[in-house]
Amino acid sequence: MKLIVDRITQEIAVCETEDQTFIKLPLSRLPENTREGSVLLELDGIYSLDTAEEAARRQALFHLQNQLFDEDDS
């Protein structure tokens, strides 16, 4: 299962699932470098960071933001 970390509050990560529902997970169960926007993969109750997917998502958002605010297109 793939999860996106929506927000982190105290010791809890609120994550969006692939079916767009939200679940709460204790940070203690997640990899050390987990942050808001991290993409997590869950397999048999073990969570790992998908850094390639996270980088691709951030690049796509950056590209979209540039298109929206590009002064040359106005």
The per-residue pLDDT for 72 is 59
Type and span of the H or E element at 66: helix 51-69
d(CA 61, CA 42): 24
Q: State the DSSP string of 30-65.
A: S-TT--TT-EEEEETTEEEE-HHHHHHHHHHHHHHH
Res. 74: pLDDT tops 70: no
Contacts of residue 15, defined as CB under 8 A and 6 or more positions apart, other chains included, come to 3, 4, 5, 6, 22, 23, 24, 25, 40
- Per the confidence metrics, is the pTM higher than 0.85? no
- What pLDDT digit, counting tens, does each position of 19-38 carry? 999 999 999 999 999 999 99
Number of structural domains (the chain) is: 1
For the chain, give the percent of residues with pLDDT over 90: 74
| Average pLDDT, integer, range 52-58 | 89
Q: Which domain holds residue 32?
A: 2-73
Given a cut of 70, whether residue 73 has pLDDT beyond it is no
Output the pLDDT for position 70.
80
